[in-house]
Every structure is written in C-alpha cells, then in structure tokens.
Amino acid sequence: MSIATNLLGIKTSLPEHVTLVAVSKTKPVSDLMEAYEAGQRIFGENKIQEMADKWEQMPKDIEWHMIGHVQTNKVKFMAPFVSLIHGVDSLKLLQEINKQALKNNRIIDCLLQIYIAEEETKFGLDQDELASLLTSNEFKELKNIQIVGLMGMATFTDNKDQIKKEFTQLKTIFEKTKKLKSENCQIDILSMGMSGDYQLAIECGSTMVRIGSSIFGGRN
C-alpha cells in the first residue's frame, strides 16, 4: 500500500477533534512529500538536525513537531521554525527554549511530558513535579513559551489493560492540570497514542496521536 493510501485510511478513521502527527523520522524527503501531497501538514521528528534539514527542503506551510528527547544545547537549531516541542520534562529545558524563542522573536508551544510507564527508560515528570513546576515563580517568568498540553508514552507491552490504565491515569492528570491557567499555560492538548495503541488512546481521551510505521512502513 502506498503512503498516501495508508495516510488517508488513518485520517478517515480519526475523530475530528484528534490531530494526526505523521512521525517521519529516518524517512527520506520523498516519502514526506508523498504524505504532503496527500494533504498531511504536521510531521514529527526526533532528531533536531534531521528536522532542520527537512524544514529547509520542504514547503513552508508544514508544522514541525519535535517528538524526541531534547538536549538543551540543540534547542537553538530548531527555535526559528519548530511548531510544537513534545517531550519537555524540566524547568531547565523550558528556560533554554524560552531563551532561544526570545532570540527569534517567537513564542514556542510546548507539551510537558508526564511519566506514566512502568519502565525506567522513559522520561517525564510525576504529578508532584508537574504541579510544582507550573506554580513556580521561575516558570511564570517565561514569556516566550506556552504550555499547550501534556503528553505521555505508555509502557511498551502487549498488555492492553496496563496501557489503558496508564492512558486513563494521564487523562486524569490532564483534567486536573487544565484548571491551572496562567499567561504561559493554557492546556488543551493531550498527546498519547502511537501506531500500536492510538485507537485505545483516543478512547481514553487523546486529542493528538503520533503515527509513523502505519503510514510510512517500518523504520529504515
């Protein structure tokens, strides 16, 4: 099946309120352009340099999402163009994004990553860290970032009950956190779900899914 066929099949199955991020990491520009020609405008990359290279080569109406773990020293390379940074998990990283956004005269949208998986390898904040971050004075001073939502990744397992439990937990945190409004925090995106579990994620309240292999095929 072609990329365009895969993409349109997924798009027609998604509810209207759910945003599709096409995870295009490691894929060549020709593959991304096939998805673009089929109407896709949001692409997710996990390496900043690769994303910057593709941004330079591709049409400028694309929204680029940084979905990988972000190193502070690389933020400057994506600050001129990135639309949304998914995996933000520390005040230090937010301060660097804020600094680089200011240099580019922009406000950069971010999702805070919440730790929900039962795996040591996943990054993220727990509920206490999230609350103390969002209510801290240091956070409120950041004028060039906007927290627009939360994201999380479930444990890599075939146990659907466990995945559902983790997604439900994140939805509960999301509903609580939505009430914490400030000038730089208006939470309305809940990003959870990937190729293997996005339907379950949507049932649990996800408003943004990150899908790669079901569109582009397996990784190169």
- Give yes or no for residue 220 having a pLDDT over 70: no
Q: Name the DSSP class of 184.
A: T
Residue 214 CA to residue 108 CA, distance in Å, equals 29
> Which residue, 220, 189, 218, is CA-closest to 205?
189
- Give yes or no for residue 212 having a pLDDT over 60: yes
- Give yes or no for residue 218 having a pLDDT over 80: no
Tokens 């939505």 — which residue? 178
Residue 52 lies in domain = 3-216
- Give yes or no for residue 21 having a pLDDT over 80: yes
Query: For all residues of the chain together, what is the average pLDDT?
Result: 95
Mean pLDDT for the stretch of residues 177-202: 94
How many domains are there within the chain? 1
- pLDDT on residue 123: 80
pLDDT above 90 covers what percent of the chain? 91
Mean pLDDT for the stretch of residues 34-62: 97
CATH number of 34's domain: 3.20.20.10
pLDDT digits (tens, 9 = 90+) for 93-152: 999 999 999 999 999 999 999 999 887 666 899 999 999 999 999 999 999 999 999 999
The region of weakest confidence among 3-7, 56-60, 155-159, 169-173 is 155-159
Residue 194 half-sphere exposure toward CB, CA atoms < 13 A: 15
- Give yes or no for residue 1 having a pLDDT over 90: no
The two three-digit tokens of residue 56, written as one number: 């330079």
> Which residue, 120, 116, 150, is CA-closest to 133?
150
- pLDDT on residue 7: 97
Which of the two residues, 152 and 181, has the higher pLDDT score?
152
Q: Count CB-CB contacts under 10 A for residue 109.
A: 21
- pLDDT on residue 122: 63
End-to-end CA, the chain: 17
